[in-house]
Amino acid sequence: MKKRLLTAFFGVGIAIGWLCTAYTPVFSAVMALVAVIAVYEMLKVFGVKNKIFFILCELTAAGTVLYTDHLTDKNIPLFPVFTGLILVSLILMVADHRRLRFDQVVQSLFSAVMIPAALACVVLLRDAYIKFPAVFIQNDGIFLILLAFFCSWITDGCALFAGKALGKHKLAPEISPHKTVEGAIGGVIGNLIFCIALWAVFQYKIGLSAHIGIVWTVCVSLGLSVVSMFGDLAASTIKRHHGVKDFGNLLPGHGGVMDRFDSSIFVFAALYAIVCVMGAVIK
């Protein structure tokens, strides 16, 4: 527990420094690095040994995030890019069929596209005021990013402490035996309190658009807490299927980068979907 708390403390400091670079190339570069490490951990779990395919997946991970930070009307269409990626992957599978299996190719390509695409949503949340100027203002971007991190990390932290103190009924014993219903409820309630406090600080000290009110924040916070826990269980299922406890060991007390961001990637994607719906509905 001490290692977990110490790592979390340093992680918060790094996150604050990263947010200070929000409107510089460093911001997306850091997210690209996170994507590369997370995909690396997944490929290791899947047992991928073909170096060319390994590098191909890592380049896809980094490129997806960086591509998102430079969206223009003249961007290269992604469909032919991903089609080519699939074809090259299958060629590598045929050429190295003894070491590169079809299930590894499918799992790896899914991870190399899904994980960075979800992490790229952080960049898109930052720029929500550019894509939907009638709905959001610039301050909303940082608020939305913090809200996403709160709903994933604070939900997890509060669920951990509530589960240790009050947990009696198992939530999903065959997937994650330590998670409890009481812990899940504690995680949702604890996160809600923090998210309301976050909204109050932005609303009264920094400023938010009229479309991000307290009712919106409460509803979204509750929904994203549930999404976060689902993401955590989904990641636990993957680990159980592959017989590993953690995706990596880079973060003491937390496992790997993917262990720390497993629920976050679901939350980032879900929140950006909400933002897009608001942008389409509100005129």
Can you give the residue ranges of every domain in the chain?
A: 2-281
- Over residues 7-32, the pLDDT tens digits come to 767 777 888 899 989 999 999 999 99
pLDDT for res 181: 93
CB atoms within 10 A of CB 234: 14
Per-residue pLDDT, averaged over 28-37, amounts to: 95
For residue 65, the model assigns a pLDDT of 92
Lowest mean pLDDT among 48-57, 76-85, 151-160, 182-191: 76-85
Q: What average pLDDT does range 160-186 have in this prediction?
A: 90
Per mean pLDDT, which range of 3-7, 79-83, 190-194, 249-253 is the poorest?
3-7
Task: Please measure the distance between the N-terminal and C-terminal CA atoms of the chain and give it in whole angstroms.
Answer: 48
DSSP state for residue 244 in the 8-state scheme = -
Of all residues in the chain, what percent carry a pLDDT higher than 70? Answer: 95
User: Which 8-state DSSP code applies to residue 170?
Assistant: E
Report how far Cα 18 is from the mean position of its chain's Cα atoms.
16
Kindly report the length of the chain: 283
Alpha carbon 157 to its chain's center: 16
The predicted pLDDT at position 88 comes to 96
Q: How far is residue 164's CA from residue 75's CA, in Å, rounded to a whole number?
A: 49
281: left (phi over 0), alpha (psi -120 to 50) or beta: alpha
pLDDT interval class at 5 (50, 70, 90) = low
Residues 69-127: pLDDT tens digits? 876 555 677 788 889 999 999 999 999 999 999 999 999 999 999 999 999 999 999 99
Q: What is the pLDDT of residue 84?
A: 93
User: How many other CB atoms are there within 10 angstroms of residue 194's CB atom?
Assistant: 19
Mean pLDDT of the chain: 91
pLDDT of residue 120: 94
pLDDT at 96: 95
22 or 5, which is more confident: 22
For 210, the enclosing helix (H) or strand (E) is none
pLDDT at 196 over 90: yes
Higher pLDDT, 264 or 249: 264
With 80 as the cut, is the pLDDT of residue 162 above it?
yes
Query: So what's the pLDDT on residue 168?
Result: 87
Tell me the mean pLDDT in the region 235-246: 91
Give me the mean pLDDT over the 224-251 stretch.
Answer: 91
Q: Is the pTM of this model over 0.75?
A: yes
CA separation for the pair 279, 283 (Å, rounded): 7
